[in-house]
Chains A and B, each alone.
Chain A
Amino acid sequence: MVVTFDDENKNAKLSLRVFEILNELQKEEEAAMQNRELIGTSWKPEFGRYMLEGTPGFPYGGTLKDILQVEPNMKFRRQLAAKYMKPNEVPITIASFPRLGCQGQFLEPHYEPRGEASRSLFVPDEVINPHARFPTLAANIRKRRGSKVAINMPIFHDIKTPKPFIDPTIPKDRNLFPEDKEAAEGAALPDHIYMDAMVFGMGCCCLQITFQACNIEEARRLYDQLANMGPIMLALTAAAPIYRGYLADVDCRWNVIAGSVDDRTKEERGLEPLKNDRFVINKSRYDSIDCYISTDKTLKPEYNDLDLCIRHVLLLGIDELLARHVAHLFIRDPLVIFKELVDQNDDSDHFENIQSTNWQTMRFKPPPPNSNIGWRVEFRSMEIQITDFENAAFAVFIVLLTRVILSYGLNFYIPISKVDENMMIAHKRDAVLNEKFWFRKNLFENEGNNGINGESLNTDGSCEEHHTNTQPPNGDTSTSIEDEYEQMSINEIINGNGDKFPGLITLIFRYLDSVNIDIESRCKLGKYLEFVSKKAGGKLQTTARWIREFVRSHPKYQQDSVVTQEINYDLMKMIDKVQKGEENAPELLGGFGTNS
């Protein structure tokens, strides 16, 4: 996000100038492409007009040295973005802007909330990226749903927060749009922070990683195995404890986004009997995945224990599991269609349309037609952190974890309904410290160890299909599904639990011990892993906790959950300084990242 500081009035606002900044950045990118130069970084518009999405110009290679390019590339992106900014503007990587939708001025330039597309009580349409797709998305979601989206996040009850908490900043008497009365009529829940527009969710920022797989089997395997890491990493990277100027009782953005694009009608949500709509759909189109899709023998049918509603789609040449996955994506209506692109036969546009408006914790990405790009898997749950070191550390952790998963053939399977439970648990305040998550006890129960007979594709990490000599079953397949998993804390999952569970960090270190790695790289990777380990162990605060502490210890804070303009200004200033290395944040960073 780009934040602009009004030092005179002690106000930190979101800068809508990003639209122009993006233009400049994309011009540079195009010029480089014309000159056939390798572009270091690439820029895309996102839903919020104040947002920039930066990606590496080309994919990182697969070696350990390449992984170390992540942090320099992120730093480079930040520098590049800052190049086109005014002196009082800064690029800041935070998951949610605390005062989006507050009374007063939170946008630069300021606009009143009177937009037709969102019809929001709190935010103007000008906060949305003007490219046709985005406001249309917002409006169509509202129209299909039959009301504005209604996001309610529990408020954090501090000592002086009223109980029940009824938000005084909701304009109850406005009569500009028919939807204005929804808040008073029950859409705004007591003891909650009420948000009524897509931007509250889609205007949040996150850290996403896309992996290249060597073939479709590997892609499906990674998709499944990383699924339960979604909630774990969400809890570890939690960074969004403030919405509309109030401290919330949640630390993560995920449910906010889920609510912000929830286009299900009342019938689909099960609130009214089915008349016009075909079925009850359990989740918003933005949520965690509903089914596993791998062809590995370790995927027992009991793991896919969520009721999938599927539209009957005729899909030729793929197996039932994958067909169901796609059919489940297609239960959603398209949200935006460009008239000129409606009729087509060979392009994958329609698939992409539905695929890209199903936002889930994992995304399975088939190769686009007519390209060299292969099967990919996207890991999407992590919240963005304040500094490049932290973001790189989490990225590196996940990348190394995938290498370990593929090298050892690890098995992370638990019933997918439990993964959903984990997503709920991950949102809780300080989940890293206080909560336990469902996790598989024995990650090594794969075909080799479990004695599961039969064809096993690629259990040796190779890409060719071949038959391996597996041992005959040793009769040990009788443990019930419930015995396979139990509740573990984030600390146990990441750092281990004595002899019972090795911990993911231990596995990664074991992997690093088994490869040829130079000492410099080993030192750097070691630092990233140590950082993640400390976060998991509670020795370093999550970003959410750090932000919370900053607010609550601010001299002007009234212990009433209110994040005033001044507190927000000081918070944004602090974040900017910490990112630049001008201020220390020992509870957050512990001295990591200051040398790079």
Chain B
Amino acid sequence: MKLFDNTTSNRVIIYTENLMRVTNIKSFKRIGNKNNQEANTFKILYKRPSCTFDKVNKVLELPDPFKFNQKLTEDRDDYEVTAKLFYLPPSSTSIIESSTPPSQFITQSVYHLFKLLGINTIDTFIIYFNGFMFDGSNEISNKFNKTSNMKNNRDDDLNNHGKSDIDNLLEAWKELETLHKKNMIYKLGVSEFTKNQLENFIKAVEVPPKIDQINFDCCAIPKEIIEFAKKNNIELLSHNDSTDILPSTTFQKIIDDANTNKVRLNKDLSPRWVLKYSVMIPDRGVINNKGYIVMASTTNSDPKFTYTIDEIEKNGF
């Protein structure tokens, strides 16, 4: 294929293949104590070099999502689509404010998932705000100290106040609520929230989360949060996602692999979010599709871009 100079693209979307089809023994290699699946995951996609430029949203897609057919083939009702958006920690060169997760990431991630799978609804959308970690307490502030990339120390102080933690998230949540009201997302969820955080959050939002996804010893969850969740109709789900879902070394490998495959990318790209999605056939307990979508942008790309919902509705898929 011809050499495609994409170094001018300052916003890139990267898709993986369906991991249920390309998982292999190597995916289970352990590095240290950690499962190395994610790193191997992103390596896989570059067996199929291709790319396409989405003119409407001015974003480069790797590979072309229509080239390898991942669209769901049966009745939409037979499937359960779950998506989880990870806001990545801002890099030191980011001009995006570290404390406010950009809400437009949400619609952007939804758009690309719709495009990939050929759907226009998501059953469950969980949002993970970087830094949160359930620690078995009911605390208001439970952010673990991953401040190595945080530029603004004054923001740190603010972040340690319970209320501000939640405040920063409300804008992002409003975007989710909009999509929910448009019947594009059925259930909204948060991740790693403690009981008190849930309590505060519910009071502050219009559409409450139906799910809190926690990575903790399932048999040792404190009963306060279990009771609170039951009373408030919140499902406590378990997960095993690493908080460092896309280590910088992995991302660098993606860029390098792309270059090797004649898709030259801008050196200044930094990953902003990762969307983990899975498609299940719930009646049979069979996982049909699982993968990741990564968005990376350069420092000089417009931080306040928008994907309008109208575009999704118009474009169909």
**Residue positions of A touching B, CB distance < 8 A:** 61-64, 214, 403, 406-409, 442-444, 446, 448-449, 459-464, 466, 468-469, 471, 496, 499, 501-502, 506, 509-511, 513-520, 522-523, 526-527
**Contact status A448-B283, CB under 8 Å:** no
How far, in angstroms, from A449 to B26 measured CA to CA in the complex? 12
**Contact status B286-A406, CB under 8 Å:** yes
**Contact status A519-B238, CB under 8 Å:** yes
- A444-B74 CB under 8 A given contacts A506-B28, A516-B237, A526-B218: no
How far, in angstroms, from A507 to B240 measured CA to CA in the complex? 14
Report chain B residues within 8 Å CB of A459: 21
Contact of A499 among B30, B82, B218 (CB under 8 A): B30
B290 sits at the interface (CB 8 A) = yes
Q: Is the interface of A mostly helix, strand, loop or mixed?
A: loop
- A514-B278 CB under 8 A given contacts A464-B73, A502-B25, A523-B219: yes
- A460-B289 CB under 8 A given contacts A62-B284, A449-B22: yes
B252 sits at the interface (CB 8 A) = no
How far, in angstroms, from A461 to B226 measured CA to CA in the complex? 34
**Contact status A517-B237, CB under 8 Å:** yes
B24 sits at the interface (CB 8 A) = yes
Q: From residue B275, how far is it (CB to closest CB) to chain A in Å?
A: 15
Interface centre among B22, B47, B285, B290 (most CB of A within 10 A): B285
Interface centre among A460, A511, A526 (most CB of B within 10 A): A460
Report chain B residues within 8 Å CB of A517: 237-238
How far, in angstroms, from A510 to B29 measured CA to CA in the complex? 13
How far, in angstroms, from A275 to B149 measured CA to CA in the complex? 86
Q: Can you sample 30 A-B contacts with CB below 8 Å?
A: A62-B283, A63-B283, A64-B285, A403-B284, A403-B285, A403-B286, A408-B20, A408-B287, A442-B25, A443-B25, A448-B22, A459-B21, A461-B288, A462-B73, A462-B288, A464-B73, A468-B69, A499-B29, A513-B239, A515-B278, A515-B280, A516-B124, A516-B237, A517-B237, A518-B237, A519-B214, A519-B216, A519-B238, A522-B238, A526-B218
Report chain A residues within 8 Å CB of B226: 519
How far, in angstroms, from A61 to B238 measured CA to CA in the complex? 21
**Contact status B80-A516, CB under 8 Å:** yes
Contact of A514 among B22, B68, B219, B287 (CB under 8 A): B287
- A519-B25 CB under 8 A given contacts A469-B69, A514-B278: no
B18 sits at the interface (CB 8 A) = yes
B236 sits at the interface (CB 8 A) = yes
Report chain A residues within 8 Å CB of B313: none
How far, in angstroms, from A256 to B27 measured CA to CA in the complex? 42
B221 sits at the interface (CB 8 A) = yes
Question: What is the chain B residue whose CB lies nearest that of A66?
Answer: B285
Q: Mark out the residues of chain B between 101 and 155 whose CB falls within 8 Å of any chain A CB in the assembled complex.
A: 124
How far, in angstroms, from A523 to B237 measured CA to CA in the complex? 11
Contact of A519 among B68, B74, B221 (CB under 8 A): B221
Contact of A526 among B219, B278, B288 (CB under 8 A): B219
How far, in angstroms, from A501 to B30 measured CA to CA in the complex? 12
Report chain B residues within 8 Å CB of A464: 73-74
Residues of B within 8 Å of A, CB-based: how many?
44
Question: What is the chain B residue whose CB lies nearest that of A509?
Answer: B240
B23 sits at the interface (CB 8 A) = yes
**Contact status A463-B74, CB under 8 Å:** yes
**Contact status A462-B281, CB under 8 Å:** yes
Q: From residue B271, how far is it (CB to closest CB) to chain A in Å?
A: 22
Contact of A407 among B47, B73, B283, B286 (CB under 8 A): B286
- The 6 closest A-B CB pairs, nearest first, are A502-B28, A523-B218, A448-B21, A407-B287, A513-B240, A522-B238
Q: Is the interface of B mostly helix, strand, loop or mixed?
A: mixed
Report chain A residues within 8 Å CB of B282: 62-63
Interface centre among A407, A502, A523 (most CB of B within 10 A): A407
How far, in angstroms, from A547 to B179 measured CA to CA in the complex? 61
Report chain B residues within 8 Å CB of A520: 218, 236
Report chain B residues within 8 Å CB of A510: 28, 37
Q: From residue A515, how far is it (CB to closest CB) to chain B in Å?
A: 6
How far, in angstroms, from A514 to B83 measured CA to CA in the complex? 11
**Residue positions of B touching A, CB distance < 8 A:** 18, 20-25, 28-30, 37, 47, 68-69, 73-74, 80, 82, 124, 214, 216, 218-219, 221, 226, 235-241, 278, 280-290
Interface centre among A64, A408, A519, A526 (most CB of B within 10 A): A519
Report chain A residues within 8 Å CB of B20: 407-409, 460-461
- A62-B285 CB under 8 A given contacts A444-B25, A502-B28, A519-B214: yes
Report chain A residues within 8 Å CB of B285: 62-64, 403, 515
- A460-B288 CB under 8 A given contacts A407-B20, A513-B239: yes
Question: What is the chain B residue whose CB lies nearest that of A461?
Answer: B286
How far, in angstroms, from A448 to B289 measured CA to CA in the complex? 13
Report chain B residues within 8 Å CB of A501: 25
How far, in angstroms, from A469 to B50 measured CA to CA in the complex? 16
**Contact status B287-A511, CB under 8 Å:** yes
Report chain A residues within 8 Å CB of B68: 469
**Contact status A409-B278, CB under 8 Å:** no
**Contact status B82-A444, CB under 8 Å:** no
**Contact status B235-A518, CB under 8 Å:** yes
Question: What is the chain B residue whose CB lies nearest that of A214?
Answer: B284
Report chain A residues within 8 Å CB of B286: 403, 406-407, 461
Report chain A residues within 8 Å CB of B283: 61-63
How far, in angstroms, from A543 to B226 measured CA to CA in the complex? 37
**Contact status A406-B284, CB under 8 Å:** yes
Extra 5 A-B pairs, beta carbons < 8 Å, given A460-B289, A513-B239, A526-B218: A461-B287, A466-B73, A471-B47, A520-B218, A520-B236
**Contact status B18-A460, CB under 8 Å:** yes
How far, in angstroms, from A526 to B226 measured CA to CA in the complex? 18
Report chain A residues within 8 Å CB of B284: 62, 214, 403, 406, 461
How far, in angstroms, from A380 to B221 measured CA to CA in the complex? 37
How far, in angstroms, from A61 to B285 measured CA to CA in the complex? 10
Contact of A518 among B28, B124, B238 (CB under 8 A): B238
How far, in angstroms, from A382 to B22 measured CA to CA in the complex? 32
Report chain B residues within 8 Å CB of A444: 23-25
Report chain B residues within 8 Å CB of A449: 21-22, 24
Q: From residue A265, how far is it (CB to closest CB) to chain B in Å?
A: 45
Report chain A residues within 8 Å CB of B236: 518-520
How far, in angstroms, from A506 to B18 measured CA to CA in the complex? 20
Question: What is the chain B residue whose CB lies nearest that of A67?
Answer: B285
Q: From residue A51, how far is it (CB to closest CB) to chain B in Å?
A: 32
How far, in angstroms, from A343 to B241 measured CA to CA in the complex? 62
Q: From residue A476, how far is it (CB to closest CB) to chain B in Å?
A: 12
Report chain A residues within 8 Å CB of B21: 409, 446, 448-449, 459-460
Report chain B residues within 8 Å CB of A463: 74
How far, in angstroms, from A502 to B23 measured CA to CA in the complex? 12
Report chain A residues within 8 Å CB of B241: 513
Report chain B residues within 8 Å CB of A527: 219
Q: From residue A110, how far is it (CB to closest CB) to chain B in Å?
A: 49
How far, in angstroms, from A462 to B279 measured CA to CA in the complex? 11
Question: What is the chain B residue whose CB lies nearest that of A447?
Answer: B21
Report chain A residues within 8 Å CB of B280: 515-516
How far, in angstroms, from A527 to B286 measured CA to CA in the complex? 22
How far, in angstroms, from A408 to B24 measured CA to CA in the complex? 9
Q: From residue A250, how far is it (CB to closest CB) to chain B in Å?
A: 34
Q: From residue A298, how far is it (CB to closest CB) to chain B in Å?
A: 13
Interface centre among B28, B82, B280 (most CB of A within 10 A): B28
How far, in angstroms, from A403 to B239 measured CA to CA in the complex? 18
**Contact status B82-A516, CB under 8 Å:** yes
Report chain B residues within 8 Å CB of A502: 25, 28
Report chain A residues within 8 Å CB of B28: 496, 499, 502, 506, 510
How far, in angstroms, from A517 to B287 measured CA to CA in the complex? 13
Q: From residue B195, how far is it (CB to closest CB) to chain A in Å?
A: 13
Q: From residue A63, how far is it (CB to closest CB) to chain B in Å?
A: 6
Q: From residue A61, how far is it (CB to closest CB) to chain B in Å?
A: 8
- A519-B218 CB under 8 A given contacts A444-B23, A506-B28: yes
Q: From residue B180, how far is it (CB to closest CB) to chain A in Å?
A: 17
Report chain A residues within 8 Å CB of B240: 509, 513
